[in-house]
Amino acid sequence: MTLRTAFRDDPDIKQMIDTVQRLEASLQDCAVHGHQKMVDAFIACQLTPAILNRWNSPVLDGLWQAVTGRTPDGITPFALNPPHAAPELLSRLVWPKAYPNAMYLVLERMNVDHNCSLLLAPAIVTCACAGHIDMLKGLLAHPLNGVAYDCTMERLSNIAVCSNLPCFEVILPHLIASGSTDLEAGLASALSVSILALHLNLTQFMLSVNVLDQFDIGQVLLAAAGLAPSPRADAIFELLFSLVARPSVDILSGVLRSPVASNRTVVVQRVLGLGIDAATCHAAVVASCRWLRSVRSAFGETGCSGSSASDPG
C-alpha cells in the first residue's frame, strides 16, 4: 500500500497526516510571532490519549508534552498548560522526555535564525544537563549571538552538577570561542561545583582547556583540601596541587588548615613533603583548633551533648 492509497482508503491515516500538517503550518515563524497559533491548533485538533496511542507519532507525543507540560502516558486526558514563551516550548521537547524529531521539526519551522538571542539557550542547557548529546549538537548548529552564549555561561555550573562529560566537551569549546565576558567567572563557578561534587573526569577536562592563575588555583585548592576523605577527593586535590608551580606560604598554610581539621592525612603529607617551615605548620594547627572549638560551641548552643558529636581531639 502506497502512502497515496493509504491516505485515500484509511480515514485514520488521513486524519493523522492532516493533523501533523496542520500543526506544522501553525509552527511557521513562531520564533518571530509567538507560539500561540500552535497552541490553538493543537487544541482544535482535539487529540486524546487513545488517538496518540493508536497513531504512535513521536512528533505528536512531543507536541503534547510541549503544550501540557506532561509526557503522554496513554491515560491522562489533555489538560492545557502551555509554555509561557518559545524558549520554554523548545525545552519541553527535551525534558521530561526527549523528542528529537519534534524538536527538529520545530526548529525547522519556527525560524530560529531570525531571533536567536535567548530562544535556544534554555534548551541547550537542558540538553546538556540531561545528556542528550545529539540534540545538543543540533541546537548548537544554529548561529547564537552573545546574549545566548552569556545566558548559557551563567548556567554552566548547573551543567557541571549533572557531570555529563560528553555534553560538556561539546558545549565548552563553543562558549570559549564566543569570547563571552563571563567566561572566567562561569568556568570558575563550574569548576568549584565539579570539585565539590567529586566529578574527577569533568574537573580534569575543565583544567585541560582553561589556564587558571595562581589566585584561582589557590581558591579551588582550598575547596579540594576541605573535602571529606575519599580516594576521589585525594585524586582531585593531587590534580590541582600539581598545577601550582611554586605554592606561596599563604596557599600552603590555607590548604593545610582544612585537612588537619578533617583528617585528610594524604593531603597533609603532600603539603608537608614540600618542607614548609614550622611557623606555617603551627599557624595551620592553631587555625584548626579554633575551628574545632567553634564547632563544639555550636553543638553546645543547640543543646547537643558532647558525646553526641565525634570528638577529634
In a domain, 137, yes or no: yes
In a domain, 76, yes or no: yes
Are 34 and 26 in contact, with CB atoms under 8 Å apart? Answer: no
Burial of 152 (0-12, 13-18, 19+ CB in 10 A): buried
Q: Looking at the structure, do residues 95 and 123 belong to the same domain, yes or no? A: no
Read off the pLDDT of each residue in 4-13 and give the average, rounded to a whole number: 63
pLDDT band at 185 (very low <50, low <70, confident <90, very high): confident
Are 118 and 147 in contact, with CB atoms under 8 Å apart? Answer: yes
pLDDT of residue 146: 85
Least confident range from 74-78, 231-235, 280-284, 295-299: namely 295-299
In a domain, 199, yes or no: yes
Number of domains in the chain: 2
Helices 36-45, 58-68: inter-axial angle, 10-degree rounding? 110
Domain boundary among 88, 115, 142: 115
Nearest to 228 by CA among 154, 149, 310, 129: 310
> Which pLDDT tens digit goes with each residue over 17-62?
889 899 999 998 887 788 899 999 999 999 999 999 999 999 999 9
pLDDT of residue 212: 63
Q: Looking at the structure, do residues 80 and 154 belong to the same domain, yes or no? A: no
Q: Which residues 6+ apart lie within 8 Å of 84 measured at CB?
A: none
Would you say residue 8 has pLDDT above 70? no
Domain boundary among 72, 87, 115: 115
**Calpha distance 174→281 (Å, rounded):** 44
Q: Looking at the structure, do residues 124 and 204 belong to the same domain, yes or no? A: yes
DSSP secondary structure, 62-86, as one string? HHHHHHHSS---SSSPP-----SSH
**Calpha distance 46→25 (Å, rounded):** 17
In a domain, 43, yes or no: yes
Domain boundary among 153, 183, 210: 210
Read off the pLDDT of each residue in 168-183 and give the average, rounded to a whole number: 86
What is the domain extent for residue 204? 116-210
Would you say residue 116 has pLDDT above 70? no
Burial of 275 (0-12, 13-18, 19+ CB in 10 A): exposed
Burial of 65 (0-12, 13-18, 19+ CB in 10 A): buried
pLDDT of residue 188: 86
In a domain, 308, yes or no: no
Q: Looking at the structure, do residues 152 and 82 belong to the same domain, yes or no? A: no
Q: Which residues 6+ apart lie within 8 Å of 246 measured at CB?
A: none
Read off the pLDDT of each residue in 156-175 and give the average, rounded to a whole number: 92
H or E element, residue 51: helix 49-55
Read off the pLDDT of each residue in 91-107 and give the average, rounded to a whole number: 95
**209 phi, psi to nearest 5 deg:** -110, 0
| Cα–chain center distance at 297 | 38
Burial of 148 (0-12, 13-18, 19+ CB in 10 A): buried
As a whole number, the mean pLDDT across the chain is 82
In a domain, 205, yes or no: yes
Q: Looking at the structure, do residues 130 and 53 belong to the same domain, yes or no? A: no
pLDDT of residue 262: 67
pLDDT of residue 267: 81
**Calpha distance 218→155 (Å, rounded):** 23
Least confident range from 57-71, 92-106, 147-161: namely 147-161
> DSSP assignment, residue 211?
-
> Which pLDDT tens digit goes with each residue over 201-253?
999 999 888 656 655 777 788 888 888 889 999 999 999 888 877 777 777 77
Would you say residue 275 has pLDDT above 80? no
Q: Looking at the structure, do residues 129 and 37 belong to the same domain, yes or no? A: no
In a domain, 279, yes or no: no
In a domain, 273, yes or no: no
pLDDT of residue 2: 52
